[in-house]
Amino acid sequence: MKILLDENLPESLVPALRRLGHEVDSVNSLRLKGLDNSTLYRQVAQQYDLCFTKDAGFVHNVRQMPFPSRTKVLRVILPQQPAKVFVGAFVRAFEQSDWSRYQNGSDWP
């Protein structure tokens, strides 16, 4: 699976998801920090299967688009915690997720 992480998620998620065998990039590693969400969605996220964000506004805008892409943009609703704890909780939820039940713009997990 090809995954994009928004700039509001810890960079330590990148290697954790790569260890699970996924191709993972982050907005930070692609040097796109500060890019507005609509440009990010139209020009970058289209290349990915999943895009994770904590930005409710980003997800709201995606839900309003008349022609969503194949990329599922999901709002991460895990509680804020120290990065190491957050990454562990994210990976556990990720491994247990049935991606077919999530729509573009869904809250996850």
Q: What is the dihedral of CA 41, 36, 85, 100, to 10 degrees?
A: -20
pLDDT of residue 109: 96
Number of domains comprising the chain = 1
Which tens digit of pLDDT belongs to each residue from 9-61?
999 999 999 999 999 999 999 898 887 877 878 777 789 999 999 999 989 88
CATH of the domain at 45: 3.40.50
Find out whether 53 and 8 touch, Cβ atoms under 8 Å: yes
Which tens digit of pLDDT belongs to each residue from 61-90?
888 877 667 789 999 999 999 999 999 999
Range of the domain at 67: 2-108
Closest CA to 42 of 23, 67, 25: 67
Q: How far apart are CA 106 and CA 109, in angstroms?
A: 9
